[in-house]
Amino acid sequence: MKHCLLVLAWAIAAWSLALTARAEAPKSPAWFPTALIPAPEAVQAAAAHENSIFAISSTQVAKYDRQTGQRIALSTGDAQHLNSGFVWHGRLYCAHSNYPRLPERSEIKVLDPGSMRLTTYKDFADIGGSLTWVVRKNDVRKNDSWWCNFARYGAKNAETFLVRFDGEWRELSRYTYPAEVIAQIGQMSLSGGLWQGDTLLVTDHDHPVLYELKIPASGSVLKYVGKHAAPFTGQGIATDPQTGGLLGINRAKRQVLFASQRLAEPVTWNFNQLDQIGGHKTTVLGEPRVIETPEGKAVEFDGVDDGLFVDFNPLAGLEKFTAEVIFRPDAGGPQAQRFFHLQEDGSESRLLFETRLTPDNQWFLDSFIKSGDGNYTLFAEKWPHPIGPWYHAAVVMDGKTMRHYVNGKEELSMPVMFKPHQPGRTSIGVRMNKVSWFKGAVRQFRLTPAVLMPEQFLKP
């Protein structure tokens, strides 16, 4: 699948943000982000159909081209509080309510992707809760049924209920959510849901997790199975018909996110332009420049105020990885230079590649990982290298041990207590807080979601 403005990145996962003390660790396997589309309308949910992506706000639906990431059209028609959406027979069905107004009124709105007009498909009037998600499912008897979630909030959110209707909108069954889920969602409710076979995945309003539920053998309380880390910050989710994965949103960043449970390819960034790296839009500091080298283009930094920032952390979610960078350290820069920095949002957990210059015009590699309360430094002062040539540096994490290499030779290692990163950012040519500027050039970066042997490394 070809993506232009659609940002591709394999092997990225959003492991759970700080959960309440009552919440247990997310259940494996996690869902890994694979791509994103910036979308100002990504406030409530996202959905997909063939080559179209839908970003859903409270009052409108925007249609985006999957390949280019360009917005194609905006919906018309009345809407007050759209929630999650799903595509059925080529049309987008959205949960809709008048929340927080009283008396409550819930509807299913339907969008014709051709005309982009929203109309009312089903009016529930005041059913006792606000409709937040709706899907259509075939049960084992091949009978179509509608599943609709009606939310209650605040002190009454335990009264949130899920109703199964037949094709004629006759209520067949009604369920409430288990205490294990209600205890984790605060004062809000359940915002999204979908079926994967007999497994029900639901999201809440804020947390990057998917709660896994089953229909109980008896009774009316859904059975709690566990939860999975996910890149979505709560809100509505949907199935991606092209990949079989999921899509949802990062509400704070106004992004549609795609996710998969399978890792396929390493992330490779070639530094051959300034406005984007690996499909990711960059923020450029100072005046770094693209240069020609015998092995291809690279980006050169002046060691004073040049840097690149990418709103993406390819380490997120990985227990094991190999991070490689091909670079050239130049003379005359600061003594300590943080030239490649990957860090999760909301904490100091990070991976740093650093060069340390010596008085005799050499350098050595200083690699650093912070994970939780642990600080792990491989300070290779006994392995100096001449300044000027191109080098390959690698940090390899097998989940228990951190190793670093220069030109395929292991220099140092140490045991670590490592836990996967959450999504975050990357800076090149400077530390994230804009100190320790790098004088030199960077040609390539690769992040592999596996432990590589030196013979598998990139060549400088």
pLDDT per residue of the chain (460 residues) written in tens, 0 to 9: 333 333 333 333 333 322 222 233 333 457 878 788 999 999 999 999 988 999 999 999 999 999 899 999 999 999 999 999 999 999 999 999 999 898 999 999 999 999 999 999 999 999 999 999 999 986 544 467 999 999 999 999 999 999 999 999 999 999 999 999 999 998 889 999 999 878 899 999 999 999 999 999 999 999 999 998 888 988 999 999 887 889 999 999 999 999 887 555 688 999 999 999 987 889 999 999 999 999 999 999 999 999 999 988 888 778 889 999 999 999 999 999 999 999 987 789 999 999 999 999 999 999 999 998 999 999 999 999 999 999 999 999 998 999 999 999 999 999 999 988 877 899 999 999 999 999 999 999 999 988 999 999 999 9
Running DSSP on this structure, what letter comes out for residue 316?
B
User: Dihedral through CA 356, CA 359, CA 361, CA 367, nearest 10?
Assistant: -10
The sheet carrying 130-138 orders its strands as 130-138, 144-151, 161-166, 171-176
Instruction: Report the distance separating Cα 177 and Cα 343, nearest Å.
Output: 36
> CATH 2.60.120.200 in the chain, residues?
267-456
Cis peptide before 29 (omega within 30 of 0): yes
Whether the CB-CB separation of 38 and 5 falls below 8 Å is answered with: yes
pLDDT at 139: 57
What's the pLDDT score for residue 225?
93
CA 157 to chain centre: 27
Structure tokens at 49: 């159909």
Cβ within 8 Å of residue 260, ≥6 positions away:
31, 32, 34, 243, 244, 245, 246
Q: For the chain, what is the largest distance between any 2 Cα atoms, rounded to a whole number of angstroms?
A: 82
Count Cα neighbours of 161 within 13 Å in the Cβ-side half-sphere: 12
Contacts of 460 (CB under 8 A, 6+ apart): 326, 389, 390, 391, 392, 407
Taking residue 401's Cβ as centre, other Cβ atoms within 10 Å add up to 14
Residues in the chain: 460
- State the Cα–Cα distance between residues 251 and 43, nearest whole angstrom: 5
Kindly report the pTM of this predicted structure.
0.59
Characterize 229-257 residue by residue with b for buried, 16 or more Cβ atoms within 10 angstroms of its Cβ, and e for exposed: bbbbbbbbbbbbeebebbbbbbbeebbbb
Q: Is the CB of residue 74 less than 8 Å from the CB of residue 116?
A: yes
Which tokens in the block code for residue 209? 């997790």
pLDDT for 143 equals 65
C-alpha 439/C-alpha 299 separation (Å) is: 11
Q: Decide which of 2.115.10.20, 1.10.10.10, 3.30.390.50, 2.40.440.10 is the CATH code for 7-260.
A: 2.115.10.20
CATH 2.115.10.20 residue ranges for the chain:
7-260
- What whole-number distance in Å separates Cα of residue 157 and Cα of residue 161? 9
Q: Which helix (H) or strand (E) holds 407?
A: none
Residue 262, SS3 per DSSP: coil
Start-to-end CA span in the chain (Å): 29
Q: Does residue 92 contact residue 239 with C-beta atoms inside 8 Å?
A: no
Query: How does 186-208 read in b/e, with b if 16+ C-beta sit within 10 Å?
Result: eebbbbbbbeeeeebbbbbbebb
Distance, CA of 114 to CA of 91 (rounded, Å): 9
What is the third-level CATH fold of 267-456?
Jelly Rolls (2.60.120)
